[in-house]
Homo-oligomer: A and B are copies of this chain.
Amino acid sequence: MIIDDVIIGKGIGDIEFSRENTIFVLIAGTTEVSLRSGITAAGASPEFTRITPTVDAEIIGEGKCLSTADPPMTPEGIPTPAIVSRAILDLTGLRSLIVNGGFSVRPKTAFFETYIEPSRDPGLDRAVMEAERVMEAGRRLGKILDGNFKNIILGESFPGGTTTAYVVLRSLGIDSGTSSSMPVDPDNLKKKVAEESFRRRNVRSPLEAATEYGDNLMIFMIGLAESIRSSKMILGGGTQMANAANLIAKVNGRTDQVVATTQWVFSHRSDLFRILGLEDRSIISVMDFGRMRNNGLRLYNQGHVREGVGMGALYSYARIAGFSREEIESAIDDFYTTFLR
């Protein structure tokens, strides 16, 4: 089977995706670095980014927003990728599980409660105050899921997470930029956070870097990778998940995960994937929203949003599971329309 719009790295063997053998796990939480002005577009204002993971979870779990009137959107009104992901989940019947990765406000939908607290701004404070608790939560969830699904697709909703990924990567000597939800990256802001973080405290290991400068997602993924031994972990996300894959390589000594993202991230930050040696184990969804009826979605083609909530991985999942481009695009367009009044 040849699928033009899905590029599978040559180090990845056969991928078999079906609704029976795969689960989508969304890890969602706040990192307080998103409260700095200009860091992220995952919310109409910095303060609103606190609740973006909550409402993303509600869209995935319930198909609608419950804690806010409107879905999360960029200041320009471009909607959250949670809408894309939920539309694909509905279309394909894939099952999903939401995990508290540090909600500021708990979502009004079923989720796996871990009691993880929001992570802090690394320029001001240790990012993950209770790293052992977060890692243990990852280990436990991994233990529950391992071996019972062939594929575990992990998505994230962590506004500001590309900034913490940048700081951690730079602390490990990797000075490539990370992506962001904005067409023009806030590189100077990211550098400022990094410099403040490094001034605040030095670290001596990748795990310490993730704890001091990173966020809950990174620590949780390290915990998951400790206990997921039989299932294939598919890290659904852009430079945040590239960073997570790098941490898992350094901390867990494992490089058998797949990273799945969009070409909107990959073409923007292919240098990072190359430097981290991830090209051969990446799946890239070549998504094109140019045919969408809704302008908010068409703007994805111009570098807004790029990735999030496992959107790229879920697109590849749907294509490999046998759904057509047209079916997927219609599902997304139609579902987004239900949010417009």
Identify the closest chain B residue to A147 (Cβ): B20
Is A191 on the interface with B (CB-CB < 8 A)?
no
Identify the closest chain B residue to A230 (Cβ): B20
Measured in the bound complex, the distance between the Cα atoms of B97 and A141 in whole Å is: 9
Measured in the bound complex, the distance between the Cα atoms of B23 and A151 in whole Å is: 19
Q: Which of B95, B106, B110, B137 contacts A110 (CB 8 A)?
A: B137
Is A339 on the interface with B (CB-CB < 8 A)?
no
Provided the pairs A95-B143, A144-B97, A148-B149 are in contact, do residues A113 and B115 lie with their beta carbons within 8 angstroms? Answer: no
Q: Mark A124-144, 1 if CB is under 8 A from B, else 0.
A: 000000000000010011011
Binding site for B on A (CB under 8 A): 20, 23, 95, 97, 100, 106, 108, 110-115, 137, 140-141, 143-144, 147-149
Identify the closest chain B residue to A150 (Cβ): B148
User: Contact at A112–B113, with CB atoms within 8 Å?
Assistant: yes
Give chain A's interface secondary structure class. Answer: mixed
Residues of B within 8 A of A147 (CB): 20
Q: Which of B23, B95, B113 contacts A111 (CB 8 A)?
A: B113
The 7 closest A-B pairs by CB, nearest first: A148-B148, A113-B113, A110-B114, A111-B113, A95-B143, A95-B144, A110-B140
Identify the closest chain B residue to A149 (Cβ): B148
Among A108, A147, A148, residue most surrounded by chain B Cβ atoms (within 10 Å): A148
User: Contact at B113–A106, with CB atoms within 8 Å?
Assistant: yes
Identify the closest chain B residue to A137 (Cβ): B110
Measured in the bound complex, the distance between the Cα atoms of B113 and A97 in whole Å is: 11
- Chain B nearest Cβ from A269, distance in angstroms: 33
- Chain B nearest Cβ from A63, distance in angstroms: 13
Residues of B within 8 A of A97 (CB): 144
- Chain B nearest Cβ from A19, distance in angstroms: 10
Measured in the bound complex, the distance between the Cα atoms of B147 and A264 in whole Å is: 35
User: Contact at A23–B144, with CB atoms within 8 Å?
Assistant: yes
Residues of B within 8 A of A149 (CB): 148
In addition to A95-B143, A110-B115, A148-B148, 10 A-B residue pairs with Cβ atoms within 8 Å of each other are: A23-B148, A95-B144, A97-B144, A106-B113, A110-B113, A110-B137, A110-B140, A111-B112, A112-B112, A112-B113
Residues of B within 8 A of A108 (CB): 115
- Chain B nearest Cβ from A227, distance in angstroms: 10
Measured in the bound complex, the distance between the Cα atoms of B115 and A100 in whole Å is: 14
Measured in the bound complex, the distance between the Cα atoms of B141 and A113 in whole Å is: 14
- Chain B nearest Cβ from A219, distance in angstroms: 15
Measured in the bound complex, the distance between the Cα atoms of B148 and A144 in whole Å is: 11
- Chain B nearest Cβ from A149, distance in angstroms: 6
Residues of B within 8 A of A137 (CB): 110
